[in-house]
Structure 1
Amino acid sequence: MMKINPKPVNFKMGDYISNGYEFLKGNFGDILVAFLLCIIMSVIPFCGLLAIGNFYRYCRDLRAGKQVSAGDIFNFDNFLPYFIMQLIFLAGFVILYIPMFIFIPIMAGNGEPSPVMGILYVLYMIFLYIVVIIVALKAFYMVALISLGGITDVKTAWNISVIMGKGNLLSMFLFALVIGILGYLGVLACVIGLIFTMPFVYTAQYFALEDGLKQVTYDEIQEIGIKDDF
């Protein structure tokens, strides 16, 4: 497990996009196979985040020049923390959606929908989307902390991720928006576009996560050197 010194990170959106593209271009075949296996594994219930985390670990090892295998995507060592994490988020979303089960019967039961209820429903949906986006941004580093940082306690991973993203939510949102648009362009281009754009989305995310972890990793050797200077 990495020794983490939680602090807000310097989020370098442009670097992550360019590095992700260059990394994909230089290792396209390996990354494509690993990404396709990641999609296959994501079909297994509660294994979507685990597959993504394993993909990030695969990218790290590939970039470090280590011996890697696309089969590394099917690694279940971190299944439990991801399972707990998904259950917590699922329970939270269910709670957030409870008002919807109140709004819909009321609006459907009247011959003439109340304008007030319509406005309240729109405001509720806006609030819901804002909450979901904020939670997703605050949890941005959790997958990396579990798969790359070795932190298996979900609460600890959440707290560190929140600190790392402090002051960067807008930059993180713009980053997710940009790579999301690029991924969507791949969808419009059908299969050929998906082959190029979707792996890029995840390699760009990998560089964002890896750089974030590097900025908060406790360097014991450096710390010893500093103490010796004094």
Structure 2
Amino acid sequence: MSDEQIGDQLSMVPVYGIKEGNKRKSNLEYFFNKSDAMEFSESEFIRSSFPLRENFVVSEALDDVMDYHTEEGPVRLIPDAYEVKNALQVKKKASLPDDTFSGIPVFESRNLSICDHYLRLTNEGCLNQRRPVFFKKEDLEKSLAKARAASHDERSNLTDTEAHIEVAALEDIIQAMKDDSTSEWNKVFFAYPGEDIRTGPTSLKSKKGRRRPFTISTSNISKIEEMENATT
């Protein structure tokens, strides 16, 4: 899969950086949690490093910063500590080593798919199937509950939702997508935090045929900010 295709998948995922004064670009650190970015901007490290400049927390699209390098080196993506904790719990339940987690955790369930733009339980089957991956465990849990309710299947084996949740590192998925055009990850659909994936035909479709609440474009950041303001 090309870098452009991968970037399109990540263009709705917001990350938060610290912008100093009139600088065009943010610092090297980008946070997945806005509160973490705000706390960092007020830290003694930032204050002492740039005492005469006013600092701002700004939203940027993940695809815009993934391959951004400066003379100081590549950017650092800093995961949401709460989602790291969730990731360790998922690993523990799966009897995997749960001391640490390396990378940005993302969550999925083999019981969940996007079928012709709509959320479905995997066992319903479809020809045009996508594999949803979530940056927040809570979003995955809500989507599993919605898909189960939409299927009207009281016999579903999703009673224990936790047992059907898996975790992986975003960086590993992206590398697999780049390395192999037949990778199992090439059908992945990255759901941005808080995204409401529909279970019926009321969803909107982008011009490229992918279901999104608005078309992917270069103005994604303003759209991300509008989305954040609407939910706060």
Q: Same fold (TM over 0.5)?
A: no
TM-score when scaled to structure 2?
Answer: 0.27
Structure with the bigger percentage of helix: 1
TM-score when scaled to structure 1?
Answer: 0.27
Structure with the bigger percentage of strand: 2
Higher relative contact order (CA 8 A, sep 6+): 1
Q: Give the greater-gyration-radius structure (CA).
A: 1
